């Protein structure tokens, strides 16, 4: 069995999931500097275009070729505009499991892009890649991300107490780390039975992006 993900594109009626490329640098940097992304992920702030370029040209290709994961640019089918990012990480090829994370750009929220992209990724993992388990982790107060997990059929398995570091704005405008819990969700092939198109947006952990 393979120990790396293929370099592929996946389509839905509204979206194209494809490898990140250098044309995404500016849009990726802008998306990662959003307040909600800063609050719920470990993405460095401020996030520069140099950081985006490093992610696209060095980090993402290395994660794929070394078998740890895969990063998708999520784009609108009609406009080709960057909607967000889907990331697979902490992949275990023997167990056939991986952790799925997602971020959606501010302008694209409320359209259900996170759940649509996560769902098509899950179906691809289970059918084409023969995976048996997908895991998501959401901060305890991140209700939007929890809604995405629920809408694509995930089952809540429990809480990792005090295992997540979120961020909040201090009065001087700087970011302050805040400890909270992780909710752990799992998705198995049989959980997708009867799951149709979904509409919700959110953010999962993105702990190991760098």
Task: Give the 3-state secondary structure of residue 66.
Answer: coil
For residue 47, which of 64, 25, 62 has the smallest C-alpha distance? 25
Residue 132 · residue 189 · CB < 8 Å:
yes
DSSP assignment string, 181-193: EEEEEEE-GGGGT
pLDDT digits (tens, 9 = 90+) for 22-40: 999 999 999 999 999 999 9
Residue-level pLDDT at 205: 53
How open is the CA angle 98-140-167, to the nearest 5 degrees? 95
Calculate the alpha carbon distances from 1 to 8, 93, 94, 95 in Å: 17, 8, 9, 12
3-state percent helix, strand, coil for the chain, nearest multiple of 5: 30, 30, 35
Residue carrying structure tokens 């009609």:
78
Residue-level pLDDT at 45: 87
For residue 9, which of 21, 22, 1 has the smallest C-alpha distance? 21
Residue-level pLDDT at 196: 64
Task: Give the 3-state secondary structure of residue 41.
Answer: coil
Residue-level pLDDT at 110: 92
d(CA 142, CA 183): 10
pLDDT digits (tens, 9 = 90+) for 130-176: 999 999 999 999 999 999 999 999 999 999 999 999 999 888 888 89
Residue-level pLDDT at 27: 97
Residue 186 phi/psi, 5-degree rounding, is: -130, 155
pLDDT digits (tens, 9 = 90+) for 73-132: 999 999 999 999 999 999 999 999 999 999 999 999 999 999 999 999 999 999 999 999
Written as six digits, the tokens of 38 are 């800063």
């Amino acid at each position: 069995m393979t120990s790396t993900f293929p370099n592929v594109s996946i389509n839905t009626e509204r979206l194209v999931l494809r490898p990140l490329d250098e044309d995404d640098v500016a849009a990726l940097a802008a998306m990662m500097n959003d307040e909600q992304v800063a609050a719920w992920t470990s993405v460095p702030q401020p996030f520069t275009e140099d950081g985006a370029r490093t992610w696209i040209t060095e980090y993402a290709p290395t994660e794929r070729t070394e078998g740890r994961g895969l990063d998708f640019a999520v784009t609108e089918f009609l406009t080709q505009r960057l909607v967000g990012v889907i990331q697979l990480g902490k992949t275990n090829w023997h167990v056939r499991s991986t952790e799925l994370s997602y971020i959606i750009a501010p302008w694209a929220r409320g359209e259900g892009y996170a759940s649509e992209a996560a769902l098509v990724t899950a179906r691809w993992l289970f059918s084409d890649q023969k995976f048996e388990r997908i895991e998501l982790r959401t901060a305890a107060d991140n209700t939007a991300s929890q809604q995405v997990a629920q809408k694509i059929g995930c089952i809540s398995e429990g809480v990792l107490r005090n295992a997540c570091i979120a961020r909040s704005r201090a009065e001087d405008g700087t970011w302050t780390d805040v400890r909270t819990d992780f909710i752990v969700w799992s998705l198995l092939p049989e959980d997708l039975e009867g799951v149709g198109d979904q509409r919700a947006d959110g953010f999962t952990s993105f702990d190991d992006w760098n």
